[in-house]
Chain A
Amino acid sequence: MTELTRVNTDREIATMEKTLVIRNLHVNVEDKEILKGLDLELEKGKTHAIMGPNGSGKSTLSYALAGHPSYEVTAGEVLFEGQDILEMGPDERAQAGIFLAFQYPMSIPGVSMANFLRSAVNSVRRARGEGDMRVPEFRKKLTERMAALKMDRSFMGRYLNEGFSGGEKKRAEILQMAMLEPKLAIMDETDSGLDIDALRVVSDGVNTLKGDDMTVLVITHYQRLLNYIKPDYVHVLMDGRIVTSGGPELALELESRGYDWVRAEFAVPA
């Protein structure tokens, strides 16, 4: 009896120090199972990287975490700061502090970056019972964050992602993240489409934001980004499961040896 109580308490404490706990997550897309019992724990304030070959389910995981309606969770649980989020809509998850930087951001014609950012920031603030951010404060913050990301002011008048180059879209995603200041930032292939200079700027932006509070989940299939955003942990996603985890050295090993040895060693069906 005492034994059991002690175990539970430990587990609770452990859960509280984790920003995100995923247990046995199964996700279907168009009735096809893509995630097949995925387990993952993200430590608060740490940077985790997920690496995996194309088609292994990385984007599926990020969409499922953000609450995309087409990604159907058939089993498992996802606890964000100890709270089950699977019943929450995408807007509620964002308001709770989850942010996904999209691999392929959508463009919204006619909606200026500035108006959109203000609506987003204020939606999140209202949900938390805070008032709207005052315009001068908003402007100041926006100007600072844009300067840090080396974005030209003219971006603000442009329509959201409309006609943006691949690199501009990625920067705009990070700017949104910088304005919303999430507790958990998920970045899906943020490095794709970025040249080396842009990669450095974006990574600097993320590193500045990180601080002690923000937990980061970097999704990538190249090691390159991890030279700039240094992970504390690396997890390998193959065939819908995390098959192995390790420290930063694991990323280097994947870079030099590819994924085949992982498949062999951890008996993932090819």
Chain B
Amino acid sequence: MALTEQQLTTSEDQYEYGFHDEEAPLFKSKRGLSAEVVTEISKMKNEPQWMLDFRLKALKYFEKRPMPQWGGGGMLNEIDFENIFYYIRPSDRPEQDWDDVPDYIKVTFDKLGIPEAEKKFLAGVGAQYESEVIYHNLQKDLEDKGVIFLDTDSALQQYPDLFREHFATIIPPNDNKFAALNSAVWSGGSFIYVPEGVHIDLPLQAYFRINAENAGQFERTLIIVDKGAYVHYVEGCTAPTYTTNSLHSAVVEIIVKEGGRCRYTTIQNWSKNVYNLVTKRAAAYKDATMEWVDGNLGSKLTMKYPAIYLMEPGAKGEILSVAFAGHGQHQDAGGKIVHVAPHTTSTITSKSISKEDGRSSYRGLLKVHPEAEYSKSNVRCDALLLHENSRTDTYPYIEIENDRVDIGHEATVSKVGEEQLFYLMSRGVSEADAYSMIVTGFIEPIAKELPMEYAVELNRLIQLEMEGSVG
């Protein structure tokens, strides 16, 4: 008896979060992309005219731009844009109170451990289910300090001026094909404003999930950190397993004003049929600090290069990226730093692991403008290969346009060595555990930058990926 396609997927992928709930959404847009669908989305959301115009213009850019052939190469050509639902709304409005959250959604959150996370992270929880944030909870004292933490749709309604002043200023709609797509059909995401001098001690976090088959997820996040303020935003992504490919194409824009600091941490674990094509960019002004911590597991193809523009003297940027490419996966990840102003500093640290025929690429750009004298940058990328057929590539683009800079660059590729395995095994550790110990150690420099719970989660996810990779 032949297995159905669905059974095959379930048994093969062993994707831990691969459960899915029966959908009961209130509204689902037609399949495919057109001016009509875009208009419908905007109307459903009661958006102002300028946003509809913005979306329609972005749609034109999307249609005009050719499909990029670098990075994922031919894989992108397999995406069938006509077969995707661009908007699904599971409930009428974002919920503030956990009790009001529909049960079937709670069940999913239970499986993800969201209420647990809420207990641990008292600072506030925004969770994205399908295309809109349905659960949002922000601690009272943050509200009192003037912190805004909303889903992006609500922010457009409630803070139209603040929103319009910053929206799409860092990533214009014609930036790249997928930023254009997101700009046309975006929905949900987080909007955060931290007022001058406000320091949020605990990380703010949101969980994202894609749940409907063929549902694209196009969330749009905008974070504004005002002068001398600080926030750490943590985003975790898991998606259930489906037989046809899903598309995730987000845009994240961050503005860090004078003396402010923002850290944005992502641990994403998309199921293995998701195309994950995300544009993330931040601008850091005088003496401001921006840090991207980016963990990429899962997905079929990830193309993601968090960027930092160092706009004024004293600005600092740091990118930490870790990628795990398992069987059939391609992680094309890295980072982009642009030194626009003098006396700016940056570091990029990238760690990638390739298992079986998995492929990881580091793609980085370091650009130093002629005016950006006395800038300093250090780039380090390390790749670890687990098997003979594992693959890694490095594409470090460096464009330095003045002589008074201090640049360091180092890249290493290593294989899990027989001697290391033997050493660990000679202490009673099994081969599988020895492998995962070496891998865990390899990403330790990044794991130690994560909040404890996320470091544990990252290590656990990697251990799951490691299972069955031996012998």
Residues on A with C-beta less than 8 A from B429 are 91, 94, 119-120, 123
A220 within 8 A of B: no
The listed residue (B425, B426, B431, B438) touching A108 by CB distance below 8 A is B438
* Interface bits A55-87 vs B (CB < 8 Å: 1, else 0): 000000000001111100000000000000000
What's the minimum C-beta distance from B324 to chain A, rounded to whole angstroms?
15
Residues on B with C-beta less than 8 A from A66 are 422, 426
B445 within 8 A of A: yes
Q: Which of A98-106, A208-216, A222-230, A239-247 contacts B (4 or more CB under 8 A)?
A: A98-106
Task: Report the nearest B residue to A117, measured CB to CB.
Answer: B427
Interchain CB contact under 8 A, B428 and A111: no
Interchain CB contact under 8 A, A176 and B427: yes
A109 within 8 A of B: yes
Number of A residues near B (Cβ < 8 Å) is 30
A259 within 8 A of B: no
Residues on B with C-beta less than 8 A from A91 are 425-426, 428-431, 434
Interchain CB contact under 8 A, A120 and B428: yes
* Interface bits B399-427 vs A (CB < 8 Å: 1, else 0): 00000000000000000011110111111
What's the minimum C-beta distance from A103 to chain B, rounded to whole angstroms?
12
Interchain CB contact under 8 A, B441 and A159: yes
Interchain CB contact under 8 A, B423 and A94: no
* Complex interface residues of chain A between 180 and 207 (CB less than 8 A to chain B): 180
B237 within 8 A of A: no
Interchain CB contact under 8 A, B428 and A94: yes
Interchain CB contact under 8 A, B441 and A119: no
* Interface bits A111-126 vs B (CB < 8 Å: 1, else 0): 1000010011001100
Number of B residues near A (Cβ < 8 Å) is 24
The listed residue (B422, B443, B445) touching A90 by CB distance below 8 A is B422
Cα separation A109 to B433 with both chains bound (whole Å): 15
Residues on B with C-beta less than 8 A from A111 are 437-438, 440-441, 444
Residues on A with C-beta less than 8 A from B419 are 106
B442 within 8 A of A: yes
What's the minimum C-beta distance from B317 to chain A, rounded to whole angstroms?
24
Residues on B with C-beta less than 8 A from A120 are 424, 427-429
Residues on B with C-beta less than 8 A from A110 are 440-445
Residues on B with C-beta less than 8 A from A90 are 422, 425-426
Cα separation A91 to B422 with both chains bound (whole Å): 8
Q: A108-B420, A111-B437 are in contact. Are A89 and B425 (CB under 8 A)?
A: yes
Task: Report the nearest A residue to B351, measured CB to CB.
Answer: A110
Interchain CB contact under 8 A, B428 and A105: no
* Interface bits B196-238 vs A (CB < 8 Å: 1, else 0): 0000000000000000000000000000000000000000000
Task: Report the nearest B residue to A95, measured CB to CB.
Answer: B428
Residues on A with C-beta less than 8 A from B442 are 109-110
Residues on B with C-beta less than 8 A from A67 are 425-426
A147 within 8 A of B: no
Residues on B with C-beta less than 8 A from A119 are 429, 433, 437
Task: Report the nearest A residue to B414, measured CB to CB.
Answer: A109
Cα separation A176 to B426 with both chains bound (whole Å): 11
A127 within 8 A of B: yes
Cα separation A119 to B444 with both chains bound (whole Å): 16
> Would you give 15 A-B contacts (Cβ < 8 Å), ordered by A?
A69-B418, A90-B425, A90-B426, A91-B429, A94-B429, A106-B417, A108-B420, A108-B423, A108-B424, A108-B441, A109-B441, A111-B438, A111-B444, A116-B427, A159-B441
By Cβ-Cβ distance, the 8 closest A-B pairs, closest first, are A110-B441, A110-B444, A94-B428, A111-B441, A120-B427, A124-B428, A106-B423, A90-B425
Having A94-B425, A110-B440, one finds 12 other A-B pairs with CB under 8 Å, namely A70-B418, A91-B429, A91-B430, A91-B434, A94-B427, A110-B441, A110-B443, A119-B437, A127-B428, A159-B441, A180-B427, A180-B428
